[in-house]
Amino acid sequence: MNKEFLSIWLKAGILRKKQSDFEKIKSLINSAEMNMAVVKCISITDESATLIFRETYESIRQLGEVKWGLLNYEPSNHEISLESLKDLDIKEKIKLNSLDRFKRIRHDINYRGFRASLGQAEEILNFWNNCGEEIIKNLKKEIEK
């Protein structure tokens, strides 16, 4: 994690120092896993694409909060939650570059009334299938340390 950004985010109040709450961390991982188990049961259609996108994004965001918690920080807003995932060392690391775009799409869905397209729903599900399980595995290893 870039120490300069951490310093800026702490001064701005976007992040705050906090002792790790391992029960909350485990609960967030469990919630993300359970949400995605349900999402994967839903067929992707024009009608379901927004729901699939939003719930998958939320599961990814929860994993970002887990990472911050393991680093002894708490984000003050969801925008910063995904930043913690960008430094993870995963096989498909290049796919982490999609996180900012996912955040913008989710913002448009929630605050501008936009609908996710089939392609967007498929893309975020593909991200989860390629990266989500590996991210969870890495986070669980960190918990065990």
pLDDT in tens, 95-143: 999 999 999 999 999 999 999 999 999 999 999 999 999 999 999 999 9
| pLDDT score recorded for residue 77 | 82
- And the tokens for 33? 């896993």
Per-residue pLDDT reduced to its tens digit, 32-88: 999 999 999 999 999 999 999 999 999 999 999 999 999 999 998 877 889 999 988
Q: Are 56 and 77 in contact (CB under 8 A)?
A: no
Cα–Cα distance measured from residue 4 to residue 14, given in angstroms and rounded to the nearest whole number: 14
